[in-house]
A = this chain, B = another copy of it.
Amino acid sequence: MESKFDSKEWSSGVWTHFTDVRRRSPLVQCITNLVSMDLVANTLLSAGASPAMVHSVAEVPDFTPHVHALCVNVGTLTPDWLPSMKAAAELASQLGKPWVLDPAAVSCSGFRLKACLELVELKPSVIKGNGSEIIALSSASQGHTKGADSSHESTEAIEAAKSLALSSGAVVAVSGAVDIVTDGKRVIGVHNGTKMMQKITATGCSLSGLVAAFLAVDPLHPLEATVSAMSIFGIAGELGEEMANGPASLRMHLIDSLYGLDETTVLSRVKITRLG
């Protein structure tokens, strides 16, 4: 029954997903923004996945068929990058490979909003953004949010997320103090993570890459895989913050913690609830 929520089962699922990523080391193609490439790649490597920052449209037909998942992030979008994003997304969808859309700063321009709407048409498995991004994409109306940072709490975006999930067919994830994940029917809250992670650039992009890696090992359960990835990344952040003196040492300890995470720590820290 859908309304029953077994918290122990979810915790165990998080660990199983993570173990699968480490064991199978999925190849994840990332067409991401220029700011985040380094941290996205290091996040995936630390989690045991195999990142490939291949973004040329000239390489998509040869390369994308070999990947296990794809992540597309529009954070520094220019018109010359869009064709490769579309080509890779279309190919991934055709071949039944899971892919993640991160509509970073979607409402910063009409060009970017239009591009994201076109990418949504190509059937992402998961759309992951902050509250403002999900609200903007869901309403498809061009607001002017503040750069890449969110001016909405994730919980304010629940209805928008559900509506976007239903219209797009994607699982929608909203990062925030509480991360929200919904398939339009179920709404799950992930309560891991720390506030200081927002003071490090590209943590959101890195999480999107990690979601793709988790989807790669469980493509038929995008909601569960997304919840697991968000919980694992949040736990690594919590452990990192215990050792950190500021955002730069948090960044280092976050990646180290992700690399070293063990079962006992994960099971004791996973905090997932059913919100709807």
A-to-B contact residues, CB < 8 Å = 27, 33-39, 41-42, 45-46, 50-56, 58-59, 61-63, 66-67, 75-80, 105, 108-112, 142, 144, 146-149, 198-202, 244-249, 251-260
Contacts and interface: CB of A to CB of B under 8 A. Distances in A.
Contacts of A51: 147-148, 201
Contacts of A79: 56, 58
Contacts of A108: 52, 54, 59, 62-63
14 contacts: A34-B34, A34-B53, A42-B200, A42-B251, A45-B201, A45-B247, A46-B248, A52-B105, A56-B76, A56-B78, A59-B111, A63-B109, A66-B144, A246-B256
Given A59-B108, A62-B111, A112-B59, A247 B53 contact: no
Contact of A260 (B33, B36, B61, B245): B245
B246 A109 contact: no
B52 A148 contact: yes
Q: How many copies of this chain sit in the oligomeric assembly?
A: 3
A204 to B, nearest CB: 12
Given A41-B201, A62-B111, A249-B252, 18 more contacts: A34-B34, A35-B53, A38-B201, A42-B201, A46-B247, A46-B248, A51-B148, A54-B108, A55-B78, A58-B78, A59-B77, A59-B108, A59-B109, A62-B142, A246-B255, A246-B256, A246-B258, A249-B256
Given A37-B35, A246-B255, A260-B246, A54 B42 contact: no
Contact of A246 (B46, B105, B198, B245): B46
A178 to B, nearest CB: 21
Contacts of A257: 246
Contacts of A253: 245, 248-249
Given A35-B37, A259-B247, A111 B58 contact: yes
Given A247-B255, A248-B252, A111 B199 contact: no
Contacts of A260: 245-246
B109 A50 contact: no
A42 B255 contact: no
